[in-house]
A = this chain, B = another copy of it.
């Protein structure tokens, strides 16, 4: 399936949760499948930290470059693009085509850099709603995401309750814990104290704070994998036959993590990393309701499908159960699946038969509700 990214320009301004405004902005978008005549079969896929609008398929001129959720979205796949019109959108502040810190600041004519405003999950959802307007979609059959993407789906359910029929929240949480925030802040400190960061204005210096970004990614990566999975994949396996008693990578896990860090620091933007971790930190819909999540979810009208994975220690199943319990207080229709999977937080991206069967069954049910 070959796809073509599109770009949508918005005149703005978009007023952000912080009070700052984005004067004008663009969103990079991909769509898969066909919008039906009733415009009732649209599914919005929200991305997590390092992903983009490129959810599924490949490019004609870059056939190896598969979308980040290509195992989930496509013809005949759990989210079946023969039946649904699926939309992937790159979030504001990202580095894959939507307006972000590397874009030109219309006020200065130079890249925003550190002057790009802090964006939140709610801001992203507002921009996605603008996109839906342009695409003529009044109501999504479903909004779906994993991790930070799940937060966006949840924000859709409270912010635009009339515009979402099904809210699908996978491997997510109603808010970060202190430990989650701590890991994010260490990653940010690694980036911000890299001398090549130049206070966020490194573009002008023709350099990138790769060292900090590399360490940030290594930290993140540890939290995406389960302890058991790491033990099984790497354990204490050495790279060579004997111990070298030096500081080159001695164990396989070291070379794996360093490689992941190196690769990431080649393509990802450091300012985007900072912004996206902040969006994670700030998400806390209950905070405007005295910490009462059920109160925050009182205005929702959609049905919900919540999925968690047993070995996810970043956003453990208990965090998903909090969402489920809060929804049940309002007698919302909630389906909950706790998948016994060994791959930690990353499980939401991987092909697992039970997980995919659950998603497929749920979308089969959505399909029966969609007016043609």
Which of B120, B182, B246, B254 is close to A182, meaning CB atoms less than 8 Å apart? B254
- Interface pair B17/A245, CB less than 8 Å apart: yes
Closest Cβ neighbor of A176 among chain B residues: B236
Residues A177 and B230 in contact in the complex (CB < 8 Å), given A215-B186, A218-B186 = yes
Task: Name which of A61-69, A161-169, A189-197 contacts chain B.
Answer: A189-197
Whole-angstrom distance from the CB of A227 to the nearest CB of chain B?
5
The yes or no answer to A243 lying at the interface (CB within 8 A) is yes
Kindly state the separation between the CA atoms of A185 and B20 in the bound complex, as whole angstroms: 39
Whole-angstrom distance from the CB of A52 to the nearest CB of chain B?
23
Question: Interface residue count for A (Cβ, 8 Å)?
Answer: 56
The majority secondary structure among interface residues of chain A is: helix
- Interface pair B281/A251, CB less than 8 Å apart: yes
- Interface pair B222/A254, CB less than 8 Å apart: no
Kindly state the separation between the CA atoms of A288 and B257 in the bound complex, as whole angstroms: 26
Whole-angstrom distance from the CB of A269 to the nearest CB of chain B?
15
The yes or no answer to A368 lying at the interface (CB within 8 A) is no
- Interface pair A258/B222, CB less than 8 Å apart: no
Closest Cβ neighbor of A287 among chain B residues: B236
Q: Could you say which residues of chain B place their CB within 8 Å of the CB of A8? A: none
Closest Cβ neighbor of A192 among chain B residues: B247
Kindly state the separation between the CA atoms of A253 and B27 in the bound complex, as whole angstroms: 34
Which of B183, B188, B236, B243 is close to A247, meaning CB atoms less than 8 Å apart? B188
Kindly state the separation between the CA atoms of A190 and B257 in the bound complex, as whole angstroms: 13
The yes or no answer to A88 lying at the interface (CB within 8 A) is no
Q: Could you say which residues of chain B place their CB within 8 Å of the CB of A287? A: 236
- Interface pair A182/B245, CB less than 8 Å apart: no
Closest Cβ neighbor of A233 among chain B residues: B178
Which of B182, B193, B235 is close to A214, meaning CB atoms less than 8 Å apart? B193
Whole-angstrom distance from the CB of A32 to the nearest CB of chain B?
34
The 6 closest A-B pairs by CB, nearest first: A18-B245, A178-B230, A193-B211, A118-B245, A178-B234, A186-B218
